[in-house]
Chains A and B, each alone.
Chain A
Amino acid sequence: MMNVSEFAREVSVTPHTVRYYARLGLLKPQRDPRSRYKKFTESDIARLQFIIRARSLGFTLSEIGEIFRRSARRQTPCPMVREIIRRRIEETTERLDAVLALRERMKQALVLWEKMPDQVPDGNAICALIEAAGDSHDGDSPSAGHDHGNKGGDKR
């Protein structure tokens, strides 16, 4: 039996993470009858390792909770897991396409800007600069810059 900090060290996560997962019900430590402290066993290690692995595959904590609930009801979670992974692959493909398209736009803008001499700073010159970049990908939604970025917790 391990307490929170021993357990956290064993699996190389922070005690904060352990407590958080326990609060969400993803880990179910026993309680020391006298001190009421959380006590973890080997099976909690397996659970936590599973959580970490599932996280790295892009599973959300609530999906992981659902997998645990199904397992507890002795249903196989495999079809659900496959479905989630398939969905994540699609989402990642979309996000990948978006960042690849953004890279193209940025590169084109840099190329165009390098061709332009430094101009007298008036509004029109700057607009010409930006418009030159704009003309090279007509038809693109101007709101595209909004869409990628924030969703994945990227900072702006």
Chain B
Amino acid sequence: MNVSELSIEAKISPHVVRFYARTGLLKPNRNPSNGYKVFGQNEVSRLRFIRMAQCLSYSLAEVAEMLRRLEDGKTPCHLMEKILRERLVENQEKIELFVRKQALMERALGQMEKQIWSTSSMDGLCDHFQSLVEGTRA
């Protein structure tokens, strides 16, 4: 397969295929007559591996390391699993952060929306702005 055939087969842009080849993640052969890249079944599998690993949040550097291990005849499974478990912890922290942020913003928005109806109670964020405006005027 050439670059465009592989990109159609794998449903990714030819730029990405070339990028992977340039960075050594894919190792196409060269067509001796025209020097074009030629990808065999092995490269198709490698590409599938790369895309799936990315989908599971592995970085390209990590993917490169796994592929190196494979080439050396070692199994990357333990490394992959170790990284994935670390990622899961980071992922959980991110989830908690987003949930906290969301609650904070919704509370602020709620406070501000209430103030449309109430002129007497002047607390919350909008009021904070108001006092700030007074402060800048002074």
Footprint of B on A, CB under 8 Å? 43, 46-47, 50, 53, 56-58, 67-68, 71-72, 74, 76-78, 81-82, 85-86, 88-89, 92-93, 95-96, 99-100, 102-103, 105-107, 109-110, 113, 118-119, 121, 123-127, 129-131, 133-134, 140-146, 149, 154, 156
Find out whether the CB atom of A130 lies under 8 angstroms from the CB atom of B52: yes
Contact B113 A82 (CB under 8 A): yes
Q: Is the CB of A67 within 8 A of B57?
A: no
A50-B132, A145-B57 known; A134-B92 Cβ under 8 A:
no
Docked CA distance A6–B69 (Å): 55
B64-88 vs A: 1/0 string, CB under 8 Å?
A: 0010011001111100110011011
Number of A-B pairs, beta carbon distance below 8 Å: 155
**Interface residue B29 (Cβ < 8 Å from any Cβ of A):** no
Q: Which residues of B contact A133 (CB under 8 A)?
A: 52, 56
Measured between C-beta atoms, what is the minimum distance from B111 to chain A in Å? 10
Q: Which residues of B contact A131 (CB under 8 A)?
A: 48, 52
Q: Give A46 to B131 CA distance when docked, in angstroms.
A: 9
B49 pairs with A113, CB closer than 8 A: no
> B1 on the interface (CB 8 Å rule)?
no
Known contacts being A50-B128, A82-B109, A127-B45, is A121 close to B95, with CB within 8 Å?
A: no
What DSSP secondary structure best describes chain A's contact surface?
helix
CB contact under 8 A between A47 and B104, given known A99-B94, A105-B55, A130-B48:
no
What DSSP secondary structure best describes chain B's contact surface? helix
Is A121 within 8 A of B129, CB to CB? no
Q: Supply 13 A–B pairs (Cβ within 8 Å), ascending by A.
A: A50-B129, A53-B125, A74-B137, A78-B129, A86-B109, A113-B80, A121-B69, A121-B74, A121-B75, A133-B52, A134-B55, A140-B55, A142-B54
A154 to B66, CA, bound (A): 22
CB distance from B6 to the nearest CB of A (A): 14
Given contacts A85-B109, A127-B45, A156-B59, are A46 and B132 in contact (CB under 8 A)? yes
Supplied contacts A105-B55, A106-B88, A110-B85, 6 more A-B pairs, CB within 8 Å: A57-B104, A81-B126, A123-B46, A130-B49, A134-B55, A144-B55
